Amino acid sequence: MTTDLSAPPRQGTTTAGRGKRPRPPFGVSAVSILAVLIALFSLVPLGYVAYMTVATGWDTAVALILRPRVGELLLNTLLLMAATIPLCLLLGVAGAWLVERTKLRGHRIWAVLLAAPLAIPAFVNSYAWVSAIPSLGGLGSGILISTLSYFPLVYIPAAATLSRLDPAIEQSSAALGLGAWRSFFRVVLPQLRIAMTGGALLVGLHLLAEYGAFAMIRFDTFTTAIMTQYRSTFNGAAGNMLASVLVFFCLLLLMAEVRSRGTARYARIGSGAQAKALRLPLHAYQVPAQLFLLALTALAFGLPLYYVLRWTAAGGAGAWTAAEFLPALLATFWYGLAGAAATTVVAFPMAYLAVRRPGWFSKTLELSNYVTSSMPGIVVALAFVTVSIRVVPGIYQTAGVLVAAYVLLFLPRALVNLRAGLAQAPKELDEAAQALGKPPLLAFIQVTLRLTAPAAAGGAALVFLAIANELTATLLLSPNGTRTLATEFWIKSSEIDYVGAAPYALLMILLSAPMTYLLFQQSKKVAGQ
């Protein structure tokens, strides 16, 4: 019997000078099964919308969707988005260009101040503007508050993209005879395409999901109408049909964003140091630029903060009694902690497959989570209300159901961070540790998990921030007697008790500010600074 020395060794065998082939710390099939189960779970809200639409019946569904009230809400939504998204793009890109590409005095300070409005929840912003102008209401007010609340969602990615954009392309355009403005519109602006479309998607999804900000100024949208319908008829057919229209809008936004990305390449190929960015002098435009940024930050950040502090001071020390705000603060903290931990754990199997086993399978599973997270909190909450009442009645209005809703709403925040962390800890490090005698699971824990921990912590922090400011799902799903900062603020502000609501608004801002700064700094690091 002869042995073919040229044949490759079988898996699990050894050859001279070579050890056992390193094994993955988990069975890939086990991780895949977990990821599939998570993806199926994340599709519960979409399945709820489809089921309720079918259960309503075609004739009834058409009659409910085509009624005049839906046309009014549709017009409000289209006008709101048609005005707010372009304004956010204009303000976000203009601010990013001034900060990153001009000799703007104090540009480092302005860079942080333009991101600061993101620390103020939109419904707190609305509360401040109603305090300043009690008669505020209608479409114009909705556009004003939405634009001031959401333009940082465009500014942050646009500033990050400009900070890493190689100025050599601008130098080349200048050498070809293009002036500064023509170079910006023909060369720089196309490079911002992904940042702008991504920011516009986020703004659009926020506009569809926002409830508190619009309810406070008496501006009707699909979300406010669904909440009103839910409170009057408890999950009636009319509210379900409004939810189906809202989900349809969300899916349209996702598809539009994917198509608008295009197929152009935006990465620089080749080695070598990137040239230092050349900042354009503003000359006579220095003062107008400063005044523009001052007015923008004053309206978006200064005015809300002023009125929150003013109402807080008006309440005096009595507004800070522990019996009033301590239960809400503790509930917010514990729900945020539980939701952040659960979301990070649930996101891990998908992140692991996306990095270690990339392909159509992992991308499909990941997409299912993005579809669900794009839905407004009220739709997710209605799905859990229906499922918990009809399928598992014992879990209705329990803490577990609320945490599960948080997981579905904010899973991508943890998923994106975990995916980046795992990508920075390649599997070769696991293999090297195993070659040194470490068992596969121990090698994974001591090497990969340790390197991924900072990214996981960052994702958990962003989820915690989102939960601390979440309103609609918490209002519908929280157990009886549960009080969070967001719900207590909403209850008191709805009763026109602005003094009583102010401490809760201030605490939400204080919780949000560090996370907003962390998000801004992280975007700069990703940009290569």
Residue 524 DSSP one-character state: H
Q: The tokens of 171 are what?
A: 């130098």
| pLDDT per residue as tens digits for the range 93-124 | 999 989 988 889 999 899 999 999 988 999 99
Grade residue 166 by pLDDT with cuts at 50, 70 and 90. Answer: low
Q: Which of 15-19, 143-147, 479-483, 486-490 has the highest mean pLDDT?
A: 143-147
Q: Which residue has the higher pLDDT, 21 or 354?
A: 354
String of b and e for 314-329 (b: at least 16 CB within 10 Å)? ebeeebeeeebbeebb
Looking at per-residue pLDDT, the higher value among 394 and 185 belongs to: 394
Half-sphere exposure of 200 toward its Cβ, with a 13 Å CA cutoff? 24
The torsion region of residue 496 among left (phi > 0), alpha (psi -120 to 50) and beta comes to: left
* Model pLDDT, residue 303: 96
Q: What is the mean pLDDT of residues 501-516?
A: 88
User: Of all residues in the chain, what percent carry a pLDDT higher than 90?
Assistant: 28
> pLDDT tens digit string along 22-59?
555 555 577 788 888 888 888 888 888 888 888 888 88
Question: Of residues 342 and 434, which shows the higher confidence score?
Answer: 342
Q: How far is CA 104 from CA 95, 107, 110, 282, 528, in A?
A: 11, 5, 9, 7, 21
Look at residue 139 in the predicted model and tell me its pLDDT: 94
pLDDT (0 to 100) of residue 1: 43
Mean pLDDT of 426-451: 66
Report residue 207 as tokens: 């506009």
Please compute the mean of the pLDDT values over residues 454-474 and round it to a whole number: 85
Please give the pLDDT value at position 426.
64
pLDDT in tens, 123-142: 999 999 999 999 998 999 99
Least confident of 205-214, 279-288, 301-310, 453-462: 453-462
Summarised one tens digit per residue, pLDDT across range 252-303 is 887 777 677 555 544 444 444 455 667 788 888 899 999 999 999 999 999 9
Q: What is the pLDDT of residues 221-252, one digit of tens each?
A: 988 888 888 777 655 677 778 888 888 888 88
Question: Which of the pair, 481 or 428, is modelled with greater confidence?
Answer: 481
Q: Quickly tell me which residue has 């939960």 as its tokens.
A: 467
> Looking at residue 433, what is its pLDDT?
62
- DSSP secondary structure string, 39-52? HHHHTHHHHHHHHH
User: Is the pLDDT assigned to residue 424 strictly greater than 70?
Assistant: no
Beta bridge partners of 18: 15
Phi, psi (rounded to 5 degrees) for 275: -65, 150
CA angle 15, 17, 22 (to 5 degrees): 70
pLDDT, residue 527, reads: 47
Q: Which tens digits make up the pLDDT trace of 9-27?
A: 444 444 334 445 555 555 5
Q: How far apart are CA 346 and CA 350, in angstroms?
A: 8
Pick from 237, 240, 201: which is nearest to 222 by CA? 240
Give me the pLDDT at residue 432, please.
67
Averaged pLDDT of the chain: 81
Instruction: Collect all residues with Cβ–Cβ distance below 8 Å to 419 and sequence separation of at least 6.
Output: 351, 354, 355
How far apart are the C-alpha atoms of 250 and 229, rounded to whole Å?
20
Q: Tell me, what's the pLDDT at 372? A: 78
Report the first-to-last Cα separation within the chain, whole angstroms: 64
